[in-house]
Amino acid sequence: MADSKRKILITGATGGIGLLLEERLMADYEVVPHGRTPANDEQAERLRKADLEDYDEVLALMDGVEVVIHLAGEASPEATWDDVLGPNIIGLRNVLEAAREAGVRRVVFASSNHAMGMYDRDEEWPVYPHHLPRPDSFYGVSKVFGEALGRYYHDEHGLEFIALRIGWVAEDPLEADEDVLHAMWLSEDDTERIFRRAIEADGVTYGLYYAISDNPNRRWDMTNTMLELGYRPKDSIDDVRKEHNVVEGGKDTPDDWPEGS
């Protein structure tokens, strides 16, 4: 009898990254998409709806799940505290607690460059995973909270927790002019690559990992991402803009960072 596919829950599967991962992982995994409003008619037939602030509804999503990819939540760096409190704080706690109760093996958490964004605003580069968190917004604060709560669930309950500090995902990175965004661009193909490695990497039970493509002027260290997760980025902003543009030390960050990012 053929081995059954690994069951993966994707929260926030109706967003850009979630929809991309659902479509690209379906062939290899039993994917359970979660969200509020389906992105298309095909997804509407599969979508599981749950209020992440309702623990019982979250727990019901976890039946038979081995890995949770947690993308759901408020995603704007310009969000207020009230915007992030429910989905990013209470919702994340419910996801982790439900995963623990249901016996889920691993949670892959979509963290963000904004957990360390004050280093970027102050141009204090390079930034390493072991540096103290310096969030640039309430959104960034919520991601630091998520990383810390994931550490607690790992240490206290043995839940595997992989936090990906995602750079900037855009199908067309030239839609923005800022060098700091080009430097942290994560292509759609590299997005698939890093999440596959976060699902499959053996011997890793907790970690904070930057997730960025192979861009020049990159200021964020990915040594542990490559060594521990086995991630190998294959795309670069230079492939899109058709030029090689290395700026020693990197260009200045806008004074109003992260506004508009």
- Active site positions, annotated: 139
Sheet holding 30-33, edge to edge: 30-33, 7-11, 67-70, 106-112, 160-166, 206-211
Cβ–Cβ < 8 Å for 159, 99 = yes
Report the distance separating Cα 107 and Cα 158, nearest Å: 11
Q: What is the CA radius of gyration of the chain?
A: 18
Beta-bridge mates of residue 110: 164
**Cβ neighbours of residue 33 under 8 Å, at least 6 residues apart?**
10, 13, 14, 18, 22, 43, 46, 47, 48
Report the distance separating Cα 197 and Cα 23, nearest Å: 17
Q: Pull the structure tokens for residue 213.
A: 């493509």
- Three-state secondary structure along 163-214? EEEECEECCCHHHCCCHHHHHCEECHHHHHHHHHHHHHCCCCCEEEEEECCC
Cβ–Cβ < 8 Å for 87, 52 = yes
